[in-house]
Structure 1
C-alpha cells in the first residue's frame, strides 16, 4: 500500500545500515540514532527540492513518517523551489528559495535567507534574522529589516523602506515616502524624493535634503548640510555646522549662521540675517518706496560686524558704494559763496570775474521749461540714460544666467560622476559633488542590475548652489 510519494507499510525501498533510507521517489533520509527525528533530502517531482530536519519518525514501521514527508512536499515546497530548514520552513513560490527555521518565500522567485525571514513579493529578497521583503523586487538585508513596497531597499539592523523605490541604509534608518533615501544610523527620510544622509539626519518634507549628523531639513525643497544644521523654511538653505535657515528662500552659510527673514542671507560664521524686506516702506534720505519683501544680506551680527573688502564702485541706484566714491562726493560738494559785495545771493549766479579762467561747471541745474531756460545734461541725455539702464539690466540678467548655467553644469557633472552598479543582481547607492566656474552641486543616485544582467536601472538627483534641484531616471536593456 502506498501513500503519496511514499510507502506506508514498507516505507523504505532501500535501507542502508539501519539509519539511512532511500525511497523509490528519490527521498533520502538519515538519523544519528540519538532521537526520534530524521533529516531528509526530498524532491517534489517538479524541480523542487527540500533539505529539511526535524522530520518525525514512523513508530510502527521505523524510518521517517511518510505522511509527514508527503505534507512537507505538497504544502511547503513549490515547483523549482529550494527549501533548507525544518518543517516550519516554506518555499512555496515558483523558483523560490527559503533557508532557515521558519523562513518563508511565498512568491515567484522570492528568496528568504535567515531564521523567520519572509520574502512575500515577486522577485523579493529577505536576508537576515526576521528580515521582511513584501513588495515586488523589494530587498531587505539585515536583522529585523523591512522592505514594504515595490523596488524598496532596506539594509542594516532594523532599517525600514516603506514606499515605492525607497532606500534605507544603516541601523534603524527609515525611508518612508516614494523615492526617499535614508543613509546613516537612525536617519529618517519622510518626504517624496527626500534624502537624509548622516547619523540622526532628518529630511521631513518633499524634495528636502539633509546631509550631516543631526542635520534637519523640514520644509519642502529645503537643504541642510553640516553637523546639526537646520533648514525649516520652504526652499531654505543652511550650509555649515550649527546653521539655521528658518525663513522661506533664506540662506545661512557658515558655522552658526542664522537667517530668519524671508529671502534673507547670512554670510559667514556667526552672521545673523533677521531684517525683513522693505515691503513698500520709504528709504531714508531719498524717501523712495521699495516694494521688495526680500530680507537683508548680513555678513555679521551685533558686536560681530565685518568689513566688506574689495567692493567695486556702485553704478546703479540700488548698488553698494565704496569709500572711494564717498570721498569723491565729499571733495565735490557745493559750498555757497558770496557776491562781490560780500552778501550771499541765492537768486543769481555770476561766473568768471577772473576767478575761473578755464570755465566753471554749474551743478544741480533744474530742468529747463521755457525757451530761455538752461538745459541740464540729464535732459540732453535722457534717451541715452534710458538705453544705458536697459543695457545694465540686460548685463545683470546675463550674469545671473551665467551663474545659473554654471550651477546647472555642476549639477550635470555631479550626476555624471555617480558610479553605478555593475554586477548582476546588485544595487548601489552613490554620492558625488562637483564645482564649475564658482558654482557647486551635490548629487545622489541609486542604481540596480537585474539578476540576469539584462536590465540596468538608475535614478539620480542633484541640488546646486543656485538652489535648483534636478532628477534623472533611466533604464537600459542589453543583449
Structure 2
C-alpha cells in the first residue's frame, strides 16, 4: 500500500550474471527453477522499472545441478508476490555490479553460501512456496547487526589467478581460474570462508532477495522490507584485505561466523547469551535474528608472497611462507554473556561495536614467523614468540619478551622492560657496529665509552699485593723522608682518632695534635710547622715523701717528669694502705646474700658471694669470681681465672692469661682467647669468636659472624655461616666453606713439579677484585697481567722457517728444518746457485755440485796416470783446469772413501768431503766446502763454521721436496702464510719485539677478537664474560668492604661510647671532703647504649692542703682504665 520503488535493471543484470552458470563444480549446487509470474497487487504508488521477474526467470532458469556448498534447492517460485506493505527501496547498481563480476562464470563458484530450508534440510521444489524463501537454520543463533557504513569497500588480489580492482573488475581468464572447478578449495580464504565472487571484498555481508550473498563492494545502503518482510542489510565497515600471493589463515578468535550459513562476519555468542532487540536479519519475514555488532578479527591485512598468511588485524606479512599466527581463543570465552535481554545495556555483552582484534605486527622475510601481539620481525627465518618484541636479521629469535623486576648489571633497583630486541640467536650472535656514544640512561654504549671507563680505572690506586697490606703511590721515589719526591694526597677527609683507629689522618689533624701537645705539655714546649722541629718542655714537679713532705723539681722531658709523679703516687699508695677496709658511709650495698670475699692481695670484691682471690683481682657482681692475679670479673656469675683474664657480663667465663669474655654468655678459654657478643665460644691460645653463636676452636682460630665456625689451628671463618675446619685455612664470606686444607704433592695446572700448599682460602664462589699485579712466583695475578701475557703469544705460522732459539727464547744464527716433525730429512729446492769464492757463504745447489763433479771427473779422466800417480811432489806447474796455489800443509783424507782437497783440509768421516784451506769434514757422509768450513754432523753440507757462516747465493728455486729454497721462495712463503696472521711487532732494526702485538694491520678501526674462551691459566686471555664477572665481583667485594668498614666504624663508635660512659662513671666518683679523711667510692655511667663501672679511693691530708685520688674503670666493650691524681689547695 505504500511506495515500492524498484530500480530498473536489477534482475536483468542478475540474468546476465548467472544465465550461463550450469552444472559446474565448486560451491554452487542445486537447481534454481523458474521464477515466473508478475509482481502484482502493489497498491498506491508502486513503480516497477523493467521486467524484474521476467529477467529473474531468465537469470535462474539455466542454473542446474551444481555441486559444492549450495546444497539447497530453490523450487519453482510461482504465483504472485503480493501485499507489499512497507517501503522496499532497492539500490539499482547492486546486481549490476554482480553482473559485471559473474557474467562469465560457467560453473559453481567457491564461497557462495548454502541455501537450505528453514528446517535445516536442503530446499526442494516441494518445500518452497511463495513468500517462503529463508536462510538455513544452520545460521548461528545470534548474528551480528550490520553497522552503518564507514568506508568504501576495497580489495586487491595480485598473483596467479589474481583479481585487480573492485568486485566489478576481473582480468581475462583469471575470473574462471578463481571461481571454477580448478579451484575447489578457493585461492584465498577469510578465516574458514573462501574468498569468492560473493565475498571477495567482504565486510558485513547479508542476503539479497534471492538468498544469494550480496557483494558489498558497492554498499546496498537501504533496507527492503516491503516484499514479504524481506530485509536487505545496510552497508558496513569493510575488512580491508590486501593479498599478493598470500593466504589468510583461520581467525585467532574461533566461532567467528565467517563461513557459516548466512555469510556474515560477526561474533557467534553462546546460546544462552542475551540477544539485542535490534533485528539484523529478516528474510521475507521467515527468519529474524537479533545479534551483536562485533568487528571481525581479520581487518586490514597486507599479505605478500607465496604462502604468506596471518590471522589477526592490522597485519603486514611479506615473504614466501611468512606468517603471523595468533593462538586461538574461543569467542564464547572471549565474550561471555548470560545476562538478561536488555536492548540498552545487556549484562556481559557490549552494547556497541566491539573490535575483537589482536595482531598489529609486521613480519618480513622468507619463512619469518610470529605468534604474539605487536611484533616486528624482519629477516629470513626470523622468529618471535613474545609480544612487543623485535627480531632483526636472518634466523634471529626473540623469545624472552617483557621482563618484570629483573636485576640489571650495575643497577640495584629492579628493572622492567616492555619487550625484547634480538639481532641473532643463541650461537649465532651479531655485533652492533657504528653505535654512537650513548648520552641518556637508557642509551646503548659503544666500545669507545667502555675504553674510557677502563682508562679511568687505570689511574686508580691499587694495593701492592693481594695481601692488601701495602699501597705504594706511583710518584717519584723520595730519599729525604718525603720533603721532595713522593705523591701528595690532597682533599683527605679527617680520619677517626682512637686507640684502635686505622684511618689515615690529614695535615690539619696532625697540626692540631701538635698544637694540642704544645698546649697540654705547657712550659717552653713549642712546635714549628715550617721546619717540623720541637722545643723541649720544662716541667716543674712537686714530689711527695713518705712523711708527707714535698720537694719541687724541674724536668725537661716527659719520662723524667712522670717518673717523679710515679714516685709520688707510690708513696701515696703506701699511705693509702692504712685506710680502714671496713668501708665507708659513701659506699652502700643492698643484699642479704653472703658477704663479698676479697682474699687476694690488693683485690676488690663487690657484690653478694663475689670472690676476688687473686692478687690485684676484681670481682664485682652477684657470685662473680676472680680467682687469679689481675683477673677482672664483672657481672652476675662472671668468672675470670688462670691469669689476667677479663670477664664482663652475666654468666661469662674468661679462662686463661689475657682471656676476654664479654657479652651474655660467652666463654673464652686459653691464653689471649677472646669471645665477644652472644653465646660465643673461643677455645685455644689466641682464639677469637665474635658475633652470635660463633665458635673458634683451635690455637689462633678466628670466627667472626653469626654462626661462624673456625675449628682448627690458625683457621679463620669470616661471615655468617662461614666454616673453616682445616688448619691454616680461611673461609671468607657468608656461607663460605674451607674444608680441604693444606695439600702436599698435588699437581697444579701448568706446572710439572709436585706442589705443596700451607692451607686453603675459600671465598664461596665469589670474584676477587682489586687484585694488584703479582711480582713473586706465589703472587696472584690479575686480568691485566693475563692480557699482557696473552699479547706475547707467538702466532707464527707452522709453515714458516724460523731461526733456532736459545734458552732465553732469543733467535740464534742457526736454522733447523724440522719438516712435519717425524724426523725425516727436509729438502731445500729451487735454491739459486751460490757464489763460488774463497769468501762466499752462499749455499750451493745440486747443479753446481754436479757440474763441479763432472769437471773434476773430466779433469781426472784426462790424466793417463790418474790411478797410478802417488805422492806427487809439489812443484810450480799445474794440471789444466785444476790448479792449486799453496805452500800450506798437505790435506788428509783419513775416513773411508773420503776426499780432502786444499791445504790442511781434513776428511775424517766415512764418505766425507773436505774442500778448502783448513776445511774439516769429520762426520760420516758430510761435506765441508770452503776455507775453514766444518761439517761435524752426519749427512750435512757445511759452507762455514760457527761465527764464520757463509751465504749460499744464486740458489735456483727448488721444485722437489728435497731441493733447497732461495730467499725469494722464502719471502713468498712468509708473505703467503702470514697474511691474516697475528704476529709480534718488529723493532726499527728489524728484530722481533716480543713485548708488542698490534692488531688491525695498520687500519684505523679497532679489531675485535671473537670466540675467546674463558682464561684458566695465568697467561690466558680473559674474555668479556670474565671481565664482566670480575666487575661484578669487584662491586660485590667493594660492597662487602664498605660493609666491613661500616662495621668497624660502628665498632669504633661503640668503643668511643663505652669510653664516654667510663669517663662519666669515673667523673661520678665522690671524694673525701674533710681533712684527714678518706673515701672509697663506686659509680656507674651509661652513654648511648654502652655502660661502665668505676671504683676509686680518695684521701685528704691531715692539714687539708693535699688531695689524692685513684680510680679504675671497666666498660661493656672490655676496655679498662686507671687514673690517678694529686692536688694542692691553698
TM-score normalised by the chain length of structure 1: 0.50
Secondary structure at the aligned position of 2:693 is classed as coil
Instruction: Report the Cα offset of residue 112 of structure 1.
Output: 6.7
Partner of 2:1096 in structure 1? 449
Give yes or no for contact 2:794–2:983 (8 Å, CA) kept in 1: no
Query: Relative contact order (C-alpha < 8 Å, sep 6+): which is higher?
Result: 2
Structure 1 residues not aligned, in runs of 5+: 1-106, 114-123, 364-373, 379-406, 433-443, 464-469
Distance 1:306 1:292, change over 3 A: closer
- 151, 161, 164: which one pairs with 2:616? 151
Give yes or no for contact 1:111–1:125 (8 Å, CA) kept in 2: no
C-alpha distance in 1 between matches for 2:589 and 2:819: 97
Instruction: Report the Cα offset of residue 259 of structure 1.
Output: 1.0
The Cα offsets for residues 105-158 of structure 1, whole Å up to 9 and x where unpaired, read as: xx9722379xxxxxxxxxx99873212223344333333322223333222222
Distance 1:158 1:184, change over 3 A: same
Partner of 2:696 in structure 1? 231
Mapping for residues 409-428 of structure 1, pairs under 5 Å: 418=1059, 419-420=1062-1063, 421-422=1066-1067, 423=1069, 424=1071, 425-426=1080-1081
Instruction: Report the Cα offset of residue 281 of structure 1.
Output: 4.9
Partner of 2:641 in structure 1? 176
Secondary structure at the aligned position of 1:238 is classed as strand
Secondary structure at the aligned position of 2:975 is classed as coil
- 740, 749, 759: which one pairs with 1:284? 749
Structure with the larger strand share: 1
Larger deviation: 449-458 or 232-241? 449-458
The Cα offsets for residues 422-472 of structure 1, whole Å up to 9 and x where unpaired, read as: 42534689999xxxxxxxxxxx999653243724365999x9xxxxxx999
The Cα offsets for residues 288-325 of structure 1, whole Å up to 9 and x where unpaired, read as: 454552x111111xxxx333345455454333345565
Instruction: Report the Cα offset of residue 215 of structure 1.
Output: 0.6
C-alpha distance in 1 between matches for 2:639 and 2:718: 28
Distance 1:460 1:290, change over 3 A: farther
1:188 aligns with 2:653: yes
Secondary structure at the aligned position of 2:692 is classed as coil
C-alpha distance in 2 between matches for 1:290 and 1:361: 33
C-alpha distance in 1 between matches for 2:746 and 2:1086: 46
Give yes or no for contact 1:254–1:267 (8 Å, CA) kept in 2: yes
The Cα offsets for residues 164-201 of structure 1, whole Å up to 9 and x where unpaired, read as: 23222222221123321112221111111211111120
1:111 aligns with 2:582: yes
Instruction: Report the Cα offset of residue 329 of structure 1.
Output: 5.6
Partner of 1:263 in structure 2? 728
Distance 1:233 1:277, change over 3 A: same
The Cα offsets for residues 353-406 of structure 1, whole Å up to 9 and x where unpaired, read as: 43669996499xxxxxxxxxx99989xxxxxxxxxxxxxxxxxxxxxxxxxxxx
Give yes or no for contact 2:1058–2:1092 (8 Å, CA) kept in 1: no
C-alpha distance in 2 between matches for 1:236 and 1:431: 33
- 762, 780, 783: which one pairs with 1:298? 762
C-alpha distance in 1 between matches for 2:655 and 2:1081: 25
Secondary structure at the aligned position of 1:217 is classed as strand
Partner of 1:478 in structure 2? 1126
C-alpha distance in 1 between matches for 2:658 and 2:1056: 16
Partner of 1:131 in structure 2? 595
Secondary structure at the aligned position of 1:450 is classed as strand
Give yes or no for contact 2:795–2:983 (8 Å, CA) kept in 1: no
The Cα offsets for residues 258-303 of structure 1, whole Å up to 9 and x where unpaired, read as: 112222111111111122234565533213454552x111111xxx
Mapping for residues 59-78 of structure 1, pairs under 5 Å: none
1:199 aligns with 2:659: no
Secondary structure at the aligned position of 1:212 is classed as strand
Instruction: Report the Cα offset of residue 478 of structure 1.
Output: 1.8
Which structure is larger by alpha-carbon Rg, 1 or 2? 2
Secondary structure at the aligned position of 1:111 is classed as coil
Distance 1:194 1:202, change over 3 A: same
Give yes or no for contact 2:665–2:679 (8 Å, CA) kept in 1: yes
Distance 1:317 1:351, change over 3 A: farther
Partner of 1:354 in structure 2? 975
C-alpha distance in 2 between matches for 1:259 and 1:244: 6
Distance 1:207 1:265, change over 3 A: same
Partner of 1:44 in structure 2? none
Query: C-alpha root-mean-square deviation of aligned residues, in Å?
Result: 5.0
Secondary structure at the aligned position of 1:110 is classed as coil
Give yes or no for contact 2:662–2:676 (8 Å, CA) kept in 1: yes
C-alpha distance in 2 between matches for 1:416 and 1:290: 50
C-alpha distance in 2 between matches for 1:275 and 1:445: 44
Distance 1:460 1:138, change over 3 A: closer
Give yes or no for contact 1:201–1:216 (8 Å, CA) kept in 2: yes
Distance 1:183 1:338, change over 3 A: closer
Give yes or no for contact 1:237–1:251 (8 Å, CA) kept in 2: yes
C-alpha distance in 2 between matches for 1:430 and 1:206: 30
Give yes or no for contact 2:1095–2:1113 (8 Å, CA) kept in 1: no
Give yes or no for contact 1:227–1:242 (8 Å, CA) kept in 2: yes
C-alpha distance in 2 between matches for 1:166 and 1:228: 25
1:317 aligns with 2:965: no
Distance 1:428 1:311, change over 3 A: farther
Structure 2 residues not aligned, in runs of 5+: 1-577, 802-817, 827-966, 996-1047, 1072-1079, 1100-1106
Secondary structure at the aligned position of 1:354 is classed as helix
